[in-house]
Amino acid sequence: MRLIDRYLLRQLLGPTVLATAALTAVALLSTSLSSLDYIVNQRQSAAVFLKITLLAMPQLTNLVLPIAIFVSALVALNRLHTEQEIVVCFAGGMSRWRVISPAMRLASTVAFLALLMNLWVQPLAYRTMREVMFEIKTDLAATLVREGEFTEPVPGLTVYAQNVDSKGEMHNLFINQVKADGSVFTYMANSGRIVKRAGGSVLMLHQESTQEFSPRGVLNYFTNDEYPFELGQLNNDDAMVHYKPSDRYLHELIAPDLQQGWEQRNRKALLAEGHSRIASPLYNIAAMAMALTAILGGGFSRLGYARRMATIGGFAILVRILGFVAQSASEGNVWINVLQYAIPLGATALALRSIFRQRVSRFIDIRRRPHQIAGVAA
């Protein structure tokens, strides 16, 4: 790579990294706010909250990459053009392709990395996140008791605790259980804690009293210093982690197991997600091409390129929205998947055509003023 190519690449790489980091941080902040429920209501630790937030990063990064590339390229290219560094490149005999090739190589590299994340990193991260969320939902300590509320973890079982301290100790417990034979058991305890015993979970009640009311009308009363309340009835042995389309690898999306009922009903949605994984990185190349068009797609202007950048920016937003619409529509019609590729490729072709539609003059009069030279070069 020549010196001028490395220079142009450095001017684009820095803003791209900064813009990607900033936009990803904003997206993570939005995601983290929606994940606060796991700490507030499910009483999970900050480590679990941080893990869920970080596991969402691959998909968020892929979503913001085209925006980051477009914004950073506009900033860097506008500075290079207004300071006439690109004009000097043209005047030095560089072709248009030679000038834009560092930017296109950068966009192609980002697109390749985005493809790798789509095919392997995102499914792995989302599978892990789905498993963590499944563990949270089946966490007995979180689902059994909500401080100061009556809860019904399973039909026929009502649980209340006045408060739960930071160590997980439940105070002033009340449990009412209606069994299949019609008998009613009421447990009251000063405190309780969920412990592991013989591979299962047990709610160990301290200073406990039990009232049993049988269908025959007999009332029995017992007191115990310590009583183990079995929680095996709350475990759903048939519960399994269900992977959504965003959690699946490409081969599971393109060729699902049609012997499974869910895969049969959602075959088109799985296929649409698979094509989106392959096509979405192309928007990074399209974003860079449109940014180049905003700066190099017309003549030099001493007043700046605000109007042209705003127009191309609106077109870039429209292109990405059309991509989302095509993905959604392809869930109902398989043939619409073609549009998932046609939209970013078409936008890239139109942008490059706008850049190359004018010829660069190699005969520049050195007596011209700088802005006149720029007009000829553009």
Nearest to 291 by CA among 307, 314, 313: 313
Mean predicted confidence (pLDDT) in 24-48 = 75
pLDDT for residue 364: 42
Q: Calculate the average pLDDT of the chain.
A: 85
A 10 A CB-CB count for 327 gives 21
Are 68 and 141 a contacting pair, CB within 8 Å? no
What is the rounded CA–CA span in Å between residue 329 and residue 333? 7
Higher pLDDT among residues 167 and 311, named by residue: 311
Nearest to 204 by CA among 215, 193, 219: 193
- Give the up-direction half-sphere exposure of residue 29: CA atoms within 13 A in the CB hemisphere: 6
pLDDT tier at 361 (50, 70, 90 boundaries)?
A: very low
Are 121 and 26 a contacting pair, CB within 8 Å? no
Q: What is the pLDDT of residues 70-107, one digit of tens each?
A: 999 999 998 888 888 888 888 888 888 999 999 999 99
pLDDT for residue 75: 92
Mean pLDDT lowest among 118-122, 225-229, 338-342: 225-229
Q: What is the pTM of this model?
A: 0.78
Q: What is the pLDDT of residues 115-144, one digit of tens each?
A: 999 999 999 999 999 888 877 766 655 567
Instruction: Measure the CA angle with vertex 150, ends 147 and 151; round to 5°.
Output: 95
Torsions phi, psi for 170 (to 5 deg):
-100, 135
What is the rounded CA–CA span in Å between residue 53 and residue 90? 46
Is the pLDDT at 190 greater than 60, yes or no? yes
Mean predicted confidence (pLDDT) in 174-183 = 88
Q: For 359, which DSSP code?
A: P
Mean predicted confidence (pLDDT) in 326-346 = 96
Query: Mind giving me the DSSP string for 233-258?
Result: GG--TT------GGGS-HHHHHS--T
What ranges do the domains of the chain cover? Answer: 3-137+245-377, 154-233
What is the rounded CA–CA span in Å between residue 51 and residue 73? 32
